[in-house]
């Protein structure tokens, strides 16, 4: 028997009328499992940081030093994922399920080759990377090992992302969410075994997280291949060889996102270089504050995933006015959810840092910068979810430039001077101003409506 969510999704594809209430309900149906999935991802980071943080500030700083580079590698993987998942959403919206499975097979094949190349690259630079980032001698060894192991698990992460996003493109948010929660549980178990049981410290944290990703990726692929009613492909004949048409469309989405990832993540790496001279306490406080803040903003990414699916299927069905309405509904929902969480983050900032580190100096500094950031979360929400809507429409070029200009001009350049004078607090003030500005320009982008006319 079909649930209400499936009935409403069928209405999108068949051209049926959807009331404002039904549109809002569908946005909620798709958002809350995606929010749970993102929160479980955050909890996984929290677990790593908390377990390692209790080994001392140096251990926490060793992960924080290379985390931005891991985000860059992950950003390339996500760009590849979006290039194919958006096409799947469009084809499902057009009721072309066979075509969606053709895109899926080609996407999986390309993504696996790509992720293996990224893994080899990451492992090859792992020894030198902490030195390039300006890490102290007390953390570079553990930092390099952590990056090496996490890079080795890139194919497992890529498999997880691809399968999860394909399922989400079909409207199935529940299974990826449940498996993400399961991954969080596995991470706790493996981390306890490797960090404490076997006494492997930072290295154990990387092994535990990697194994959790591997098991989850296999489970996600198994459901996609055998269990998804829209996308199961094992018993269907089809080629995994990429075609020019699919790859060209994928590049139209992935290319701007990959370019954005280089410069955006480059901005995060620049931020690490700016913060690193402040010392181990500042690096640890910065790393833990970023992890703590993610409890506030990652639900926004869950809602953005729902926005991408709803807008993508609406575009595929030829219903641009409906796509616009879903973009605004999900953006407002994201701003509301993150606004409430920002209030809680401001109130409990020291306690959130204290869960990850027992060091009083780290708690004091981390809590202070986290409270500064709370004022930027509503603007950040607008930029996250509106960007997700643009991706669903295949509009990635201008949003990528918007993100890049905001990051480098409004955040990084002023932070060079502010950090010298005000330390880590100055850096986070620049970050809060930039995220607010970014939210404003994305709201303007949505209001002007040009994003909806992109063709891929």
Q: How confident is the model at residue 65 (pLDDT cuts 50, 70, 90)?
A: confident
Cβ proximity of 52 and 205 under 8 Å: yes
Mean per-residue pLDDT, 410-435: 95
Residue 228: count other Cβ atoms within 10 Å of its Cβ. Answer: 18
Split into its structural domains, the chain has a count of 1
Domain that holds residue 393: 4-453
Better-predicted residue by pLDDT, 28 or 436: 436
Picking from 53-67, 330-344, 423-437, which range would have the lowest pLDDT averaged per residue? 53-67
Residue 32 has pLDDT above 90, yes or no: no
Residue 163 has pLDDT above 50, yes or no: yes
Residue 268 has pLDDT above 80, yes or no: no
Q: Which residues of 20-29 are buried (b: 16+ CB within 10 A; e: fewer)?
A: eeebbebbbb
Better-predicted residue by pLDDT, 268 or 451: 451
Residue 365 has pLDDT above 70, yes or no: yes
Q: What burial class does residue 3 get, using C-beta atoms within 10 Å of its C-beta: 0-12 exposed, 13-18 middle, 19+ buried?
A: exposed
- How far is residue 215's CA from residue 54's CA, in Å, rounded to a whole number? 27
Mean per-residue pLDDT, 119-126: 95
Residue 2 has pLDDT above 60, yes or no: no
Residue 127 has pLDDT above 70, yes or no: yes
Residue 267 has pLDDT above 90, yes or no: no
Mean per-residue pLDDT, 147-165: 94
């Amino acid at each position: 028997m079909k649930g209400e969510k499936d009935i409403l999704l069928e209405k999108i594809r068949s051209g049926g009328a959807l009331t404002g209430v039904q549109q809002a309900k569908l946005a909620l149906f798709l958002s809350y499992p995606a929010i749970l999935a993102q929160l479980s991802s955050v909890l996984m980071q929290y677990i790593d940081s908390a377990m390692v943080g209790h080994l001392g500030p140096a251990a926490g700083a060793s992960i924080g030093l290379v985390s931005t580079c891991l985000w860059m590698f992950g950003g390339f993987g996500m760009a590849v994922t979006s290039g194919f998942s958006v096409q799947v959403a469009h084809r499902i919206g057009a009721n072309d399920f066979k075509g969606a499975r053709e895109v899926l097979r080609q996407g999986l094949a390309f993504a696996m080759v790509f992720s293996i190349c990224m893994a080899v690259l990451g492992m090859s630079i792992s020894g030198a990377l902490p030195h390039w980032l300006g890490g102290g001698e007390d953390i570079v060894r553990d930092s390099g090992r952590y990056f090496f192991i996490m890079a080795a698990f890139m194919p497992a992460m890529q498999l997880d992302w691809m399968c999860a996003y394909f399922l989400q493109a079909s409207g199935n948010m529940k299974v990826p969410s449940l498996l993400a929660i399961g991954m969080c549980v596995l991470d706790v178990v493996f981390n306890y075994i490797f960090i404490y049981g076997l006494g492997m410290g930072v290295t154990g944290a990387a092994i535990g997280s990697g194994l959790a990703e591997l098991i989850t990726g296999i489970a996600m692929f198994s459901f996609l291949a055998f269990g998804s009613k829209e996308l199961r492909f094992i018993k269907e004949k089809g080629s995994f060889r990429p075609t020019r048409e699919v790859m060209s469309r994928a590049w139209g989405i992935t290319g701007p996102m990959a370019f954005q990832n280089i410069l955006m993540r480059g901005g995060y790496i620049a931020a690490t270089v700016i913060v690193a001279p402040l010392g181990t306490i500042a690096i640890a406080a910065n790393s833990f504050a970023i992890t703590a803040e993610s409890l506030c903003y990652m639900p926004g990414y869950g809602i953005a995933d729902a926005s991408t699916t709803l807008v993508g299927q609406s575009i595929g069905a030829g219903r641009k006015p409906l796509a616009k309405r879903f973009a605004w509904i999900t953006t407002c929902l994201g701003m509301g959810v993150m606004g409430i969480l920002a209030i809680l983050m401001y109130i409990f900032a020291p306690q959130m840092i204290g869960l990850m580190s027992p060091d009083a100096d780290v708690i004091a500094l981390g809590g202070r910068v986290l409270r500064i950031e709370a004022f930027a979360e509503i603007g950040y929400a607008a930029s996250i979810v509106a960007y997700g809507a643009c991706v669903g429409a295949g509009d990635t070029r201008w949003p990528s430039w918007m993100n890049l200009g905001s990051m480098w001009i409004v955040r990084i350049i002023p932070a060079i001077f502010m950090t010298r004078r005000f330390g880590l607090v100055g850096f986070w003030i620049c970050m809060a101003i930039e995220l607010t500005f970014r939210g404003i320009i994305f709201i303007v982008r949505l209001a002007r409506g040009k994003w909806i006319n992109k063709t891929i």
